[in-house]
Structure 1
């Protein structure tokens, strides 16, 4: 069970004494194996009243360092950290609203609010949870931003003329994920009704069915370093396309594709390379648009794998070495023929468990390869490939 912070905890952690307590306990292991020793040490170093809050804060800060810029100085609750946007995603979304008056109506501990405050003309953050709001005040201060902070229910508007940003809670009190939009807190329909006529951007899970938000005129699916992170629902006032996929990298590079891009691509036999589009492209339903941008073709109109003789820049693509109709017997022979021992298995469109298949195949060769198993028409096909990282196109 995650620790439940109080306002008194936050006040202590923000104080000089709290800073000294955090520093005194910063070298503790904070692992499952060291838990009892850590608790005993913290109680001795900072006293029993504040030991739990100090230990939880240090643990959450360690988890946050890979997700939130400057997270090693922030205050979090466990749930707030889980739902917080990674900093590159928050910064990208904030850039879409740059120069506007923005109100984050579910600001929580401030992961999105800090990014918004850096690009907005004016910025407000509000939350009904007074503990998280106090944490947001601290996090904004250590991040050198100063948005206005107000305690308010997200469904009771307290600002006018702003772009409204919301991130409904998607876990219940036990930490289980909520999947139905009507179970979000606040519910999607209630948010849309509360801010009818105002520009609205709602962060949600990437698997949300767009039909659950009929008010949204754009859905943007965002990935970071190859992993799909989240989606944004945008009202008519903010939308610039119906569907958008945005691919971000931690190095700062980014690109987007929308349903306004051309999507006229052929279906044909496999070429020299297979390409598995970024998950944001697949989730946004923009595989054909991506193929058209890079001169690729589809292996099958219902499958996301693409093929061609020149892969896109900056992707991990698969050079085709051999192929054939898929069966375990045929694939085992293919692996022996190419002396494969270390094997990556990728599957799309067929009912195959890659891990279970690898255990059954027991490859014993000396080379490394990737196998792509997919369906072309009604036929399951296996492609033996060598995965390669394609360099970015040099810029002039």
Structure 2
């Protein structure tokens, strides 16, 4: 069980004595010695809070600002900074002269990010511990204790990030199971960060669904109400962000003209945000690619765009015997197996292939219109010619 901070713990940690203790205390990795060192420094009453804060700051290093106060759950659930900054920029473009209210502000990540580009930002939370931490993390911010379903502001643009797990830790998928429930959030101008796997048909007020990925991992689905998106604007958007600062977007208004062809020199696996947003054809059209099958996310072409792509060395009908022979010919001893549209479990298939050899490969198994196919690939660009079985 994670340590449960009290308001008194936060009051001590944010005091001069607490901050001095945090600046001098560095856990060494031995739990018993670390506890003893914390007790010597601040006494029994505050030792656990000191140790937990030091450990959480170490976990947050490189992802969030140094010196912040966290609970374990708040750190786990916090929006990644590049994702929060992207949302803040979008809001600044449509709500620069309005109050923007984060009604689930937790320890203040979104409030800090919004405040960097907007003048009128309010944050609120019901949890007094997280709110006390937010006051320390974002000095000078307008923060109040309030229920997300009864915010003290009126006519504000509401930002919310409902909890996607129950108290027991079970992940929830339905909007009515989230806390607070999506349908009960105040509107009409609303942007909600939620789970990428949500059934968006259950959220009829969402005028635009934006799937956001960061460094190749889908982080969230952002639901934008009608008042925050232009008339005639897209209904679906994929936003692909990178920690390096590069990023791009794709929407359902982009051209989706692309052919369906047999495999070319490269197999391309689009970013997960593109796939989850249902924009595979738009991605293919933008990059001059083709689909292997109208219902398959893998694309193909002579030149791959940046991102995940595999050079096809050999391809043919899928069968375990044929695949085993192909891998043996190539001296493959290590294989990544990717499956689309087939009832194949990679972890069960791998030992049956009886791999031996110094080389590595990626095998893509997919069902296309011609049936089950196997593509032996590698992600680099060697001079080995491609053959067809």
Q: When the two structures are superposed, what TM-score results if normalisation uses the length of structure 2?
A: 0.92
In the TM superposition, residue 343 of structure 1 has moved relative to its aligned partner by: 1.7
For residue 265 of structure 2, the aligned residue among 268, 272, 282 is 272
Aligned twin of 2:315: 323
| Structure 2: segments with no counterpart, 5+ residues | 382-389
> What SS does the corresponding residue of 2:228 show, helix, strand or coil?
coil
Instruction: State how many pairs are aligned.
Output: 374
For residue 83 of structure 1, the aligned residue among 50, 62, 77 is 77
Aligned twin of 1:108: 106
In the TM superposition, residue 107 of structure 1 has moved relative to its aligned partner by: 0.5
Matches of 1:170 and 1:310, distance apart in 2:
39
Contact 1:223 1:229 in 2 (8 A): yes
> What SS does the corresponding residue of 1:62 show, helix, strand or coil?
helix
In the TM superposition, residue 378 of structure 1 has moved relative to its aligned partner by: 6.0
Aligned twin of 2:16: 16
Aligned twin of 2:254: 261
Aligned twin of 2:356: 364
Runs of 4+ in structure 1 displaced over 3 angstroms? none
Aligned twin of 2:295: 302
In the TM superposition, residue 225 of structure 1 has moved relative to its aligned partner by: 0.5
In the TM superposition, residue 100 of structure 1 has moved relative to its aligned partner by: 4.4
Aligned twin of 1:163: 157
For residue 230 of structure 1, the aligned residue among 217, 220, 225 is 220
TM alignment of 1:170-319, pairs within 5 A: 170-191=164-185, 194-195=186-187, 197=188, 199-239=189-229, 240-312=233-305, 314-319=306-311
> What SS does the corresponding residue of 1:384 show, helix, strand or coil?
strand
For residue 151 of structure 1, the aligned residue among 145, 152, 175 is 145
Aligned twin of 2:380: 388
Matches of 1:292 and 1:304, distance apart in 2:
13
In the TM superposition, residue 23 of structure 1 has moved relative to its aligned partner by: 2.9
Matches of 2:38 and 2:151, distance apart in 1:
43
> What SS does the corresponding residue of 1:373 show, helix, strand or coil?
strand
Matches of 1:176 and 1:228, distance apart in 2:
20
1:226 and 1:100, CA in 2 relative to 1: closer, same or farther beyond 3 A? farther
Question: Is 1:2 aligned to 2:2, yes or no?
Answer: yes
Question: Is 1:44 aligned to 2:40, yes or no?
Answer: yes
In the TM superposition, residue 139 of structure 1 has moved relative to its aligned partner by: 1.1
Per-residue CA deviation, residues 332-353 of structure 1 (Å, 9 max, x unaligned), is 1001112222322211111222
Contact 1:100 1:162 in 2 (8 A): no
Question: Is 1:67 aligned to 2:67, yes or no?
Answer: no
> What SS does the corresponding residue of 1:319 show, helix, strand or coil?
strand
Per-residue CA deviation, residues 268-293 of structure 1 (Å, 9 max, x unaligned), is 11011110000000011110111111
Q: When the two structures are superposed, what TM-score results if normalisation uses the length of structure 1?
A: 0.91
Aligned twin of 2:54: 58
Matches of 2:169 and 2:53, distance apart in 1:
19
Per-residue CA deviation, residues 188-226 of structure 1 (Å, 9 max, x unaligned), is 0101xx32x3x1000101101101211111110100100
In the TM superposition, residue 382 of structure 1 has moved relative to its aligned partner by: 0.7
Task: Name whichever of 303-312 and 363-372 sits farther off.
Answer: 363-372
Task: Name whichever of 231-240 and 270-279 sits farther off.
Answer: 231-240
Question: Is 1:346 aligned to 2:338, yes or no?
Answer: yes
